[in-house]
Each structure stands twice: as structure tokens, then as C-alpha cells.
């Protein structure tokens, strides 16, 4: 039995090492892009002053959704306003999504007072690029999304093989890397230390990633908003519809859900669409779009209301998965925690490769780590250059 267990651990260790060597680049890419997505709007606002406010303005003190709608219409008279999006930060500007004939989909960012447009951008922003890279290798289709989310199973394989081969791993929580065992011992100790500390985080990311894989298979059926009973219209919006009308619809929705913190209002772009007010009622682990209320723009009557009271088990699970995967479950504290963990997870992949490099080559070749890594991935040696060339090509084709 002892011999069998040892043989199993050796096989799992070889599997763990082989996967780490060949998939290190992809795993690092997933961890890095996932980490950037936590604060992607804040990152973008650092580089574009017109997307941040000159001074913090509390969300409840900002202009109404109707006032922002009127300003967007004034800015682009020929455009169709599709969404008004409230920022999640006191110092990030609110924005609206429009469709402008001849220019396509556009975003406009409102100034500090909210009564002027500070910046106009294309529909492709930093979040769009990083998100598509993270979930679908930039291609944004079902096949590539399944390929990307399938790496959650690879992460699970890393976790299982690592736990089995690292006997009594719980004793390693405070075991610092040894400095007297050379590069291999130091990198190996660092790799194990980071892995042990990140174990709960990695388990969460793996399980939630598997859920997204099942979702892309079409097996997750979340209740959708219904427009049944809506009055027939010839145009997308009734005649005379303006910001005051939109504020009336928001107020009607707020009566149905008094605790609703509104994140976004979708405005009909087609005659068969309703006004959809989206937000969260403050329930634990529920995302900003967990509650959705449909309002008839003609009669201002409620057509449907999905809240945490009637969202259903699948809806609850989906929202919990989203809040756990993206680190929003505990507000700003958990988001910063996820940034730290995601950064460490990226470093974990690098440390694993350095273990291989230190083990496979003499100690006097410390300056040739990349050459060691490159020589070891015979299977994917030329696959990675082609992969990144493909990412760049897809990005240029889709976004430029």
C-alpha cells in the first residue's frame, strides 16, 4: 500500500509539473486578466481624466437617470440612447450607451455636475478587451468561451495533484522558503507557500469557472424578464418620451422594490422592448443586476419584476457565483483581497516554472531561466507564438 501511494504521488507530481510547464502562460494570463477586471474602470479612469470626477460625488447626490438621458439626447440628437449606467464609485463618472447612425455604438461620460458630456468613446473600452480576452480568448463565441472556461478543470487538476503530492500541506502555512538549498529549494518553497495560502481562493475560482463552463453549454436557465402585456407601439418610444418620462418609470419601479439600488436603466431601442430598471436590493452575495423590473414606456405599468424574492434557485446560484468569482461579495474589501490573491496566483505560476528551471539545469546557469523554460515546452514551443499572434489578429479585426 505504501509503495502504491508513493507511485501515485510520483505520477501526480509528474502530471502537475508537466501541466505547469506547458500551461503556465495561459494560467498566468487568466489570473492576470481576472485581477485587472476587478478594478478595470478605475484603471481606465487613471489614464482618462474625463472619466473621473474632479471631486467625489455620492451616488445619491448625482443627477437623475432622466436628466442624464436628456443630456445624452442633447449631445447626440440623431442617436438612440440605450443604457444609462450609474458608476459604482463616488469618483468615477456615470455614462450612457448610445447608437449613433454612421458611428455605431458609443459611450458618453458625464462631467462632475452630470449636465454635460465630458468624453465620448467607442463601445470598445478597456473592460471589453480584457473581459473578452479572459472569457473567450478575444473571439467572443461559444466555442472559444468553452475553451477558456475549461481551464477551470485544469486548475482543479492542479489543486488535486498539488494537495496529494504535498503531504500534510496544512503544516506549510508558515514555512518560509529555505535559503540554504539553492534556487530550486527557494523557488519550490515559495511555490508551496503561495499555493497553501491561496488554496481557498483557487478552489472558489475553479468551482465558479466550472459553473461558467456549464453556463456556456446552455445548461443554466436563469429566469428572464417578460414583456407580456405591453402595449403595441409603432416606434421604439412613445411620442414625447423624455427624461421626465424615464424618471417616472424609475419611480414606478422603485415603488415595487423600495430597497432597490439602481445600477442601470435600459431604454427601448425597438418597439417590442420595455424599460428595464436593474440593480440590487442589498441581499448578500447578489450582483448589481440581480433585480430587474420591466416598465411599459407607454402606460408606465409594471410588466414584470424579478427580485431576490422570486429570482429562483438558479438565479441565486448564478449571482453568488458571479460575486465570488469577481470578488464583489464583500464590497471594496473583498475586491482588494481578490486583487492581492489574483496577483499572487499569477506569481504562483511563475514560481512553478522557476522550480522546473532550477531543477533541470545546473546552478551556474541562473541567468538562463527563459531558455530553460523554452527548451522544456517542446509540445507548445511554437504554439504560443502562434497563439499570441492570433490574439493580436483577432483583436485588431474586432476592435479596430
Q: Write the pLDDT tens digit of every residue in 39-76.
A: 998 898 888 888 888 888 888 888 999 999 999 999 99
Residue 92 per-residue DSSP state: B
**C-alpha cell of residue 367:** 541567468
Give the model's confidence band at 338: pLDDT under 50 very low, under 70 low, under 90 confident, else very high: very high
Rounded-to-integer distance, Cα 187 and Cα 191, Å: 6
Specify if 322 maps to a domain.
no
Whether 393 has a pLDDT exceeding 90, the answer reads yes
Give the model's confidence band at 372: pLDDT under 50 very low, under 70 low, under 90 confident, else very high: low
Same domain, yes or no: 215 and 240: no
Rounded-to-integer distance, Cα 49 and Cα 47, Å: 6
Sequence length of the chain is 400
Specify if 7 maps to a domain.
yes
Rounded to the nearest integer, the mean pLDDT of the chain is 89
Rounded-to-integer distance, Cα 386 and Cα 276, Å: 43
Same domain, yes or no: 103 and 146: no
Rounded-to-integer distance, Cα 154 and Cα 206, Å: 8
Same domain, yes or no: 237 and 263: yes
Specify if 13 maps to a domain.
yes
| Residue among 5, 23, 15 at smallest CA distance from 353 | 23
Say if residues 260 and 291 touch (Cβ distance below 8 Å): yes
Residue 123 per-residue DSSP state: S
Which pLDDT score, from 0 to 100, does residue 2 have?
45
Radius of gyration of the chain (CA): 25
Specify if 75 maps to a domain.
yes
| Residue among 306, 345, 311 at smallest CA distance from 327 | 345
Same domain, yes or no: 197 and 234: no
Count of the separate structural domains present in the chain: 2
| Residue among 219, 206, 221 at smallest CA distance from 149 | 206
Query: Range of 30's domain?
Result: 2-41+128-220+328-399
Helix 331-360 with 369-376: angle, nearest 10 deg: 80
Which pLDDT score, from 0 to 100, does residue 120 have?
86
Amino acid at each position: 500500500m505504501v509503495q502504491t501511494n508513493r507511485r501515485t504521488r510520483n505520477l501526480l507530481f509528474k502530471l502537475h509539473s508537466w501541466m505547469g510547464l506547458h500551461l503556465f502562460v495561459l494560467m498566468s494570463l487568466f489570473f492576470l486578466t481576472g485581477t485587472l477586471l476587478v478594478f478595470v474602470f478605475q484603471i481606465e479612469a487613471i489614464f482618462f481624466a474625463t472619466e473621473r470626477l474632479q471631486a467625489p460625488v455620492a451616488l445619491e447626490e448625482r443627477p437623475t437617470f432622466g436628466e442624464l438621458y436628456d443630456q445624452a439626447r442633447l449631445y447626440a440628437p440623431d442617436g438612440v440612447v440605450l443604457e444609462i449606467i450609474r458608476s459604482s464609485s463616488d469618483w468615477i463618472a456615470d455614462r450612457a450607451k448610445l447608437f449613433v447612425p454612421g458611428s455605431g455604438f458609443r459611450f458618453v461620460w458625464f462631467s462632475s455636475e452630470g449636465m454635460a458630456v465630458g468624453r465620448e468613446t467607442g463601445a470598445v473600452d478597456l473592460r471589453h478587451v480584457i473581459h473578452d480576452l479572459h472569457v473567450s480568448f478575444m473571439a467572443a463565441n461559444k466555442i472559444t468561451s468553452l475553451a477558456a472556461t475549461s481551464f477551470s478543470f485544469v486548475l482543479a487538476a492542479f489543486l488535486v495533484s498539488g494537495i496529494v503530492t504535498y503531504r500534510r500541506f496544512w503544516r506549510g502555512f508558515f514555512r518560509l522558503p529555505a535559503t540554504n538549498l539553492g534556487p530550486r529549494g527557494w523557488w519550490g518553497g515559495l511555490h508551496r507557500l503561495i499555493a497553501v495560502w491561496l488554496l481557498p481562493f483557487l478552489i472558489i475560482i475553479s468551482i465558479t469557472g466550472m459553473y461558467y463552463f456549464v453556463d456556456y453549454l446552455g445548461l443554466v436557465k436563469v429566469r428572464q424578464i417578460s414583456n407580456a402585456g405591453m402595449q403595441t407601439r409603432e416606434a421604439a418610444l412613445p411620442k414625447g418620451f423624455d427624461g421626465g418620462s424615464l424618471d417616472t418609470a424609475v419611480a414606478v419601479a422603485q415603488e415595487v422594490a423600495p430597497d432597490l439600488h439602481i445600477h442601470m436603466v435600459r431604454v427601448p431601442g425597438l418597439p417590442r422592448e420595455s424599460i428595464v430598471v436593474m440593480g440590487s436590493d442589498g441581499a448578500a452575495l447578489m450582483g448589481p443586476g440581480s433585480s430587474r423590473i420591466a416598465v411599459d414606456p407607454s402606460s408606465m405599468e409594471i410588466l414584470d419584476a424579478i427580485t431576490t424574492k422570486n429570482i429562483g434557485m438558479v438565479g441565486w446560484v448564478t449571482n453568488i457565483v458571479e460575486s465570488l468569482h469577481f470578488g464583489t461579495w464583500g464590497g471594496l474589501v473583498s475586491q482588494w483581497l481578490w486583487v492581492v490573491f489574483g496577483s499572487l496566483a499569477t506569481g504562483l505560476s511563475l514560481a512553478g516554472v522557476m522550480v522546473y528551471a532550477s531543477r533541470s539545469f545546473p546552478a551556474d546557469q541562473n541567468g538562463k531561466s527563459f531558455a530553460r523554460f523554452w527548451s522544456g515546452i517542446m509540445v507548445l514551443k511554437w504554439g504560443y507564438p502562434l497563439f499570441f499572434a492570433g490574439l493580436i489578429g483577432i483583436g485588431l479585426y474586432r476592435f479596430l
